[in-house]
Amino acid sequence: MGGAGAASGNASGNASAPVARKKRVGVIGTFVWDVIHGRDRRSVPVEEWGGITYSLAGLDAALADDWEIVPLCKVGSDLAERARAHCRTLRHLAPDAALIEVPYPNNRVELRYLDDERRSEYLSGGVPGWTWVALKPVLDDARLDALYINFLSGWELDLPTTQMIRAHFQGPIYCDLHMLVMAVQSDGLRVARPLPDVAAWCSCFDVLQVNEDEMQMMAPDSMALAATAMAAGVSCLCVTLGKRGAVYVAAPGVDRLSDIPRLSGHTSSLSTSPRGGQGALGAVRTGLVPSVPPRVDGPGDPTGCGDVWGSTHFSRLLAGDMFTEAIGAANRAASRNVEHRGASGLAQHLRGELSTT
């Protein structure tokens, strides 16, 4: 894992031991204020943080102590202070981390649950996405060792900006594709749409996460998507299956993040995977990791399960776990997420600590 070093100690013989620099994982995503209907089978809606706050909770609970979180997130001025206050509850937040306030209404989503796993979403507000000109100095200043991207608005990054990130950044990149395959209608309703340039998007990431619905917007089935992803340079594709667990496809010879070839410099062609294609699917490894049933009576709260799953998965990969071990930890965390209401206090709950929420 690139970039972790140690601060030099005092030259005198009585100097204390050098203090190791913590490794830093950047987070690109969107803060969303949720209004949730039908979650508790009550007529009264619930309002609370959603969006990237679930991913931050998963990272905060699962990261090893030698890692810290650096959000590279914009937030609307109407909710900026509340977002900062939420981030201050994270144990692994980097001391120099700072959200970027922008003069736009923050993203708000109205969720209406149809059953335990299906829901409709209506979006209002809208924090704009990043351009490469604006993101590059932020990315450089962040001094990252790894990068986690979760498309929660669907426009956090466009394809050219994401390709520039891949060309510029040498550490591992994890992506939860999520809302990249969703469009917003005029009334704010989010609807699925096919993703163009699938191979080009895949070439930007080392580990790619989708659910079954998202996968269908990219390819006819999981193996067709895996063939595209592996040829583009993805080292591990994960398809989450809700209550059935998750299936994964890993490139030949890649069992953990440290097996992924390191970038030796910037890529000369942004249309080609910087890590090189993995060839045919004949040598890849696939597997199904079963889910863990939640310890609750009734439906529980599935909001944010995929976000907690992905951030836990990446946290454990950064700690050195094999893909199968990390997926098992992600399944357990997603199950625990069902037992909790909302993102406030979620990190403590995921760690098994007493939570009042």
Asked if the structure places residue 305 within a domain, the reply is yes
Asked if the structure places residue 16 within a domain, the reply is no
- Spatial separation of the C-alpha atoms in residues 226 and 239, rounded to whole Å: 10
Asked if the structure places residue 133 within a domain, the reply is yes
Q: How much is the average pLDDT of 46-56?
A: 93
pLDDT over threshold 80, residue 124: yes
Q: How many domains does the chain have?
A: 1
Q: How much is the average pLDDT of 83-103?
A: 97
pLDDT over threshold 70, residue 125: yes
pLDDT, position 46: 80
- Spatial separation of the C-alpha atoms in residues 33 and 343, rounded to whole Å: 11
Share of the chain above pLDDT 70, in %: 84
Asked if the structure places residue 6 within a domain, the reply is no
pLDDT over threshold 90, residue 106: yes
Q: What is the pLDDT of residues 317-331, one digit of tens each?
A: 999 999 999 999 999
Answer whether 37's CB lies under 8 Å from 112's CB: yes
Query: Domain limits at 157?
Result: 23-350
Asked if the structure places residue 249 within a domain, the reply is yes
Asked if the structure places residue 14 within a domain, the reply is no
Q: What is the pLDDT of residues 112-121, one digit of tens each?
A: 876 666 678 8
Asked if the structure places residue 208 within a domain, the reply is yes
Asked if the structure places residue 4 within a domain, the reply is no
pLDDT over threshold 80, residue 11: no
Q: What is the DSSP letter of 344?
A: T
- Spatial separation of the C-alpha atoms in residues 203 and 166, rounded to whole Å: 8
Q: Quick one: which H or E segment has residue 238?
A: strand 236-240
Instruction: Give me the helices (H) in 143-281, please.
Output: 159-168, 198-202, 212-216, 222-232
Q: What is the pLDDT of residues 134-186, one digit of tens each?
A: 999 999 999 999 999 999 999 999 999 999 999 999 999 999 999 999 998 88
Give the chain's mean pLDDT. 87
Answer whether 156's CB lies under 8 Å from 28's CB: yes
pLDDT, position 276: 47
Q: How much is the average pLDDT of 77-102?
A: 97
Poorest-pLDDT segment among 9-18, 45-54, 309-318: 9-18
Q: What is the pLDDT of residues 296-355, one digit of tens each?
A: 665 677 889 999 999 999 999 999 999 999 999 999 999 999 998 888 899 999 999 865
With bands split at pLDDT 50, 70 and 90, how would you rate the model's confidence at 266?
very low
Query: Residue 213 corresponds to which tokens in the numbers above?
Result: 């619905």
The CATH number covering residue 230 comes to 3.40.1190.20
- Spatial separation of the C-alpha atoms in residues 302 and 220, rounded to whole Å: 26
pLDDT, position 263: 59
pLDDT, position 322: 96
**Coil, helix or strand for 274?**
coil
